[in-house]
């Protein structure tokens, strides 16, 4: 039972050593330990504040990115719409130009056909006139070889001139 019950001298010396260690720790170790604990606590609080601030900044950046993305989509849609309108305008202009060019070519073709027709008619008239003159000349040569026929022809011409 001596092992279980402590001796009074042992308790005294343990108390003295404990107080001596407590005094030495209070004198030399507790201030640096408490200072380092405060510094650690401050750095943890600072890190938490910075994390909260970073979280807020990330939310703001996310909101800004969403806004920029929305604006970019709207700008893209606007550009696509303008491009579609420009394409439609170019197609319409090309159609109009093609129609005008076709009309102009048709008019030129009609004018060319009319000119060719007039030219052909003039050529036919000239040919007919030449043939008529040739025929008239041959007839007159035949009739003018006879002097009595010449006299009759002149008389008939004179009568026709008087009648007109």
- Listing DSSP states for 63-115 in one string gives HHHHHHHHHHHHHHHHHHHHHHHHHHHHHHHHHHHHHHHHHHHHHHHHHHHHH
Q: What is the reported pLDDT for 152?
A: 77
Helix (H) or strand (E) holding 123: helix 30-144
Token pair listed for 95? 């159609």
Q: Which residue's structure tokens are 């439609």? A: 88
Work out the number of other CB atoms within 10 angstroms of the CB of residue 140.
13
Q: For the chain, what are the domain ranges?
A: 28-153
Token pair listed for 137? 């000349």
Q: Which of the residues in the chain have pLDDT under 70? A: 1-3, 138, 140-144, 161-164
Going from the C-alpha of 115 to that of each of 75, 118, 121, 125, 129, the distances in angstroms are 59, 5, 10, 15, 21
Q: Taking the mean position of all CA atoms in its chain, how far away is CA 105?
A: 33
pTM recorded for the entire structure: 0.41
Q: Is the torsion defined by CA of 98, 99, 103, 109 positive or negative?
A: positive
Q: Is the torsion defined by CA of 93, 95, 96, 100 positive or negative?
A: positive
Q: What is the reported pLDDT for 164?
A: 44
Find the distance separating the first CA and the last CA of the chain, reported in whole Å: 183
């Amino acid at each position: 039972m001596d092992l279980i019950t402590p001796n009074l001298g042992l308790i005294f010396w343990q108390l003295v050593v404990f107080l001596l260690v407590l005094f030495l720790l209070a004198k030399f170790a507790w201030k640096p330990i408490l200072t380092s604990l405060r510094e650690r606590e401050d750095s943890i609080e600072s890190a938490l504040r910075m994390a909260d601030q970073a979280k807020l900044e990330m939310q703001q950046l996310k909101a800004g990115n969403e806004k920029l993305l929305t604006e970019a989509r709207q700008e893209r849609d606007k550009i696509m719409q303008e491009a579609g309108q420009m394409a439609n305008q170019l197609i319409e202009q090309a159609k109009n130009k093609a129609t005008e060019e076709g009309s102009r070519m048709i008019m030129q073709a009609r004018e060319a056909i009319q000119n060719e027709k007039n030219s052909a008619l003039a050529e036919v008239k000239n040919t007919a006139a030449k043939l008529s003159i040739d025929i008239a000349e041959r007839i007159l040569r035949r009739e003018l070889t006879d002097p009595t026929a010449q006299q009759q022809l002149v008389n008939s011409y004179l009568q026709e001139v008087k009648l007109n």
